[in-house]
Chain A
């Protein structure tokens, strides 16, 4: 038995990355970035406003957090719906109390299903970024480019019709992308995306329609990842986020290079009555630190872009 000889060929064994989307660049070797008012850490709190359909197809994989029993999975459908009805409002109260600015990543299906909810978010004036149609419209390599273009444009159209401020950010459901996604996003007026989780700062990302900015939305610090995937407690979640905040502040202070703390929060997770206190303690800790700039995601992207050589 032997493998196809091609398995021992290394076509992209060369300097830099094995693709042409972004340059190889160590964070420690980049030019320093200063956030407004001398802040050391830019804080992006991304609150996910999601719709998980009961008739989930799960192609090419079941979205994390989605339906997992036989149809009809009332259990998971309603647990997720809890976030939009109850959890979100607890999270908003906690954020407002701490003076922390959220950015909402919204599945466009929300515009159709719960227009009153989207309008309330719109009236708050916080930034809204697009998150495809719903949690089961995953972007992946087997999705035809025309179909994906239609999906992206339909999602953006529904959100842009309902939202006063420009929608320039994108987060794929489950941070999923096909090989075409960045090109299609850039061709549809998107300026930044959160799906690539390989950095603690924004960085430029090449597409066939000009440049996007990658604004990594940390997976390892995501509430769903820590609590649902890793099965840590809500207080262990709080410890980890606080430790991350403290570390990034110290690193930025030592190096003089601004850093990004990107927190992904799901109201169906942190908005549960037994978890909201841990979320409040995180927000309290962060808001008590000097040197944290809580800002909409696109403001962070703009501040970073303004300093590029």
Chain B
């Protein structure tokens, strides 16, 4: 049985930017700044999903696979040391199977007190076509795997390869989740309506500044990427005086940590962290701070009651 598709996702209500919440971040910061390294594992020969092909070339697509593998073999260490130098703790968007494949990377991130959140099992396994029980199994597996290998409760979710169903955020909330990175509609956190009725928020995670979108989709030159990041920061810092903003730079070591790209990025990151009124933080800390201080106010003003569907309906 298929249900009709919706005209809008009905996850949040409209809010005009000039009516934003007068958020005050800790210590008077204007911008809550976070960096989200995507630490991913792509399979060489994944099973076929009926809706989306994993690789453009026939198996084995060694070009696509090798491109991603470079991030774990070579790029991760460069990216991590760069974040260390700038005093940034990463919020890791994790293909959780990487805990099993490459535990050395997990250990190094854990030692740095980085946050881990779920980006699915593998970035070559899509939820398209899954029923509710299957998608719940994927989400619960990812939450369980993060807890087992890092000791952390998984608070955030970025759907694997940005593949969603209408139920994705409901299921993640029911698995104990607090925030989603899947929505790109605002520069402040937004309450998100989920059927559990629990507080659940969208934390801005920029696709426009995501290095993979920049390099692969928009094919931007590395020094210009650095300039774009600085321009975005300057504007959000200025506007953050009226009401705190959020800036995220999502990364992939297989893109940003190439020798011809990493210097321009480090220059931009050092520019941001060199400003005084910046809260350099993680996705979870932004979500928790927002829920504690502004969630009720936002719901009262713009609404976000639960869907009232209840239960675990199949």
Contacts and interface: CB of A to CB of B under 8 A. Distances in A.
A7 B44 contact: no
Contacts of B59: 141, 179
A261 B65 CA distance: 20
Interface in A102-126: none
B228 interface: no
A243 B66 contact: no
Interface string A23-46: 011111100000000000000000
B121 A178 contact: no
A26 B104 contact: yes
A2 B2 CA distance: 11
A240 interface: yes
Interface residues of A, number: 59
A53 B279 CA distance: 58
A3 interface: yes
A242 B285 CA distance: 39
Contacts of B275: none
Output the residue of B121, B219, B264 with the most chain A CB within 10 A.
Answer: B219
Given A27-B74, A198-B67, A3 B60 contact: no
B63 interface: yes
A195 interface: yes
B45 to A, nearest CB: 8
Nearest to B216: A230
Contacts of B67: 197-198, 219-220
B122 interface: yes
Interface in A197-235: 197-200, 216, 219-221, 229-232
Nearest to A182: B62
Given A3-B50, A8-B138, A244 B60 contact: no
A24 B97 CA distance: 14
A221 B50 CA distance: 34
B260 A220 contact: yes
Given A231-B219, A243-B259, A7 B63 contact: no
Contacts of A60: 57-58
A275 interface: no
Interface stretch (A14-22, A75-83, A184-192): A14-22
Interface residues of B, number: 55
A24 B105 CA distance: 12
Contacts of B15: none
A7 B47 contact: yes
A240 B101 contact: no
A284 interface: no
B23 interface: no
B137 interface: yes
A26 B58 contact: no
Nearest to B103: A15
Interface in B48-84: 49-50, 56-60, 62-63, 65-67, 69-70, 72-74, 76-78
A198 B66 contact: yes
B222 interface: yes
A219 B62 CA distance: 12
Contacts of B41: 18
Contacts of A229: 219
A248 interface: yes
B20 interface: no
Interface stretch (B85-93, B124-132, B153-161, B304-312): B124-132
Nearest to A24: B102
Interface string A1-14: 11110111010111
Contacts of B222: 240, 243
Contacts of A216: 66
B223 interface: yes
A89 interface: no
11 contacts: A1-B2, A2-B130, A24-B101, A24-B102, A26-B74, A141-B59, A175-B63, A178-B60, A219-B63, A220-B67, A244-B259
9 closest Cβ pairs, A-B complex: A244-B260, A198-B69, A2-B131, A244-B259, A247-B259, A198-B66, A240-B260, A230-B219, A28-B77
Interface of A: 1-4, 6-8, 10, 12-19, 24-29, 60-61, 140-142, 174-179, 195-200, 216, 219-221, 229-232, 236, 239-241, 243-248, 251, 261
Given A198-B65, A219-B67, A247-B259, 13 more contacts: A3-B130, A8-B137, A12-B43, A13-B121, A15-B103, A17-B101, A177-B62, A196-B66, A198-B73, A219-B63, A230-B221, A232-B219, A243-B260
